[in-house]
Structure 1
């Protein structure tokens, strides 16, 4: 075998080895996995968040909105159901990343958490039994038995009523059930939730009376230290309002477009 032939063989082996190293030495980069946004919610507050009886999935305006926000951020949502009064403590403990649960933005809560830009405007109203004509507004609640959900602005307002007997429940449906059973005279709760209850369940047994006591804004809450997530949520919310997705979700659950 000539020296020239040997040189060619050595060169060929070198080139082949180099080619294999370039092709098989490194694995192709895998696509980045979507981050998971752990979201806490009181999932018994229709039409904002509640469990579908058939699929057992959590559905509602808030659920659709947070999924759309997460998608805009390149994330997926993992919902953790918990009582309303446990949401802020769970945020502070780092057990969840955010809460969306028809939570009114208040100065007291804002001392503990960061709130997103408002995403829904609400207010408190009264629900009474359909045959009750004595209670027509908040001034008629003095000395009455009032059911509320613990930790809510409805609970705070009820406690301001003179001589009222305020009973706090873990969920809004429990408060409505107590009204239906005659254990209380009225329920103070958020107007859209009262509207939904009257429409879907309590139309024959209950009615809404009086004008809204308050005007409230709902916000998505994040931990005080997680300002980056709050900024991302605000940016995603702005984009959803610009591209029309927010309006679609709103109309799906409330039958009308949001007020401009």
Structure 2
């Protein structure tokens, strides 16, 4: 009888300890410290940005806040340059990295990716007057059509590959390319969709517009440490539920359809 009671006690103890023992290292750390540590740049609106008061806002930040809330832990944001995001997630320095990170095979060799939660890509930005004559990329891929792109970017690579016949002018920065569009020096510029969306908001008097759909496919994902499949599964399921429940679409409209949030920026 004593042996039976001892065996039952051991089984009960193992059953009670099982959830903790089965938790992966990232989840276990989050629950123990009651803190979700997130890396972002804070410099890529409307996905991630910093307000005048120093608060992090944007679509990606809303996702991080909602995830922390669902886990019942506080959110700690660590700001760092873009080229530090993947290494920080890969090393486990942070629990996740988010901030307009495109899912690529090279990056996937270093980290897990949850998502994608948003599909970005390269698009064309021009005045609505110029845009009236653009029905498709064939109208742009002409020798007389001038396009500005920031040199050394994926925008330049895509433009030179897809619009080979157009006259392409490389600038030092995307802002310089935008200035050329605003001044009429070029007919259009090519940049990633989030940048173009913000440019439309910031220059209402210029009556700018973009293509309805980006002409490249660049899915954005949440970068996670590669040593915890359960954490990857949890974040993927969280994003799936946000998408299915309509919350993710609501947030996309909030940040990409209305410029109201821009008054919060410095």
SS of 1:219 mapped into structure 2:
strand
Quote the offset at 1:58 in angstroms.
Answer: 1.4
Number of residue pairs matched by the alignment: 220
Distance in 2, matches of 1:87 and 1:185, equals 35
The reply on whether 1:204 has 2:205 as its aligned counterpart is: yes
Output the TM-score relative to the length of structure 2: 0.64
Q: Provide closer, same or farther for how the CA distance between residues 148 and 232 of structure 1 changes in structure 2, counting only shifts above 3 A.
A: farther
Output the TM-score relative to the length of structure 1: 0.65
> Residue 40 of structure 1 contacts residue 79 of structure 1 at CA under 8 Å; is this kept in 2?
yes
Q: Provide closer, same or farther for how the CA distance between residues 150 and 32 of structure 1 changes in structure 2, counting only shifts above 3 A.
A: same
Partner of 2:3: none
Higher helix share: 2
Structure 2 unaligned regions, length at least 5: 1-30, 259-266
> Residue 147 of structure 1 contacts residue 179 of structure 1 at CA under 8 Å; is this kept in 2?
no
Structure 1 unaligned regions, length at least 5: 1-30
After superposition, what is the alpha-carbon deviation per residue over 1:47-83, rounded to whole angstroms, capped at 9, x for unaligned? 2112223x33111111111110122233332223334
Distance in 1, matches of 2:257 and 2:101, equals 21
SS of 1:64 mapped into structure 2:
helix
Partner of 1:28: none
The reply on whether 1:101 has 2:99 as its aligned counterpart is: yes
Q: Provide closer, same or farther for how the CA distance between residues 32 and 209 of structure 1 changes in structure 2, counting only shifts above 3 A.
A: closer
> Residue 125 of structure 1 contacts residue 208 of structure 1 at CA under 8 Å; is this kept in 2?
no
Q: Provide closer, same or farther for how the CA distance between residues 225 and 206 of structure 1 changes in structure 2, counting only shifts above 3 A.
A: farther
Q: Which one has the largest radius of gyration? A: 1
Quote the offset at 1:223 in angstroms.
Answer: 3.1
The reply on whether 1:56 has 2:46 as its aligned counterpart is: no
> Residue 85 of structure 1 contacts residue 150 of structure 1 at CA under 8 Å; is this kept in 2?
no
Distance in 2, matches of 1:248 and 1:50, equals 19
Partner of 2:119: 121
What root-mean-square deviation, in Å, do the aligned CA atoms of Structure 1 and Structure 2 show? 3.8
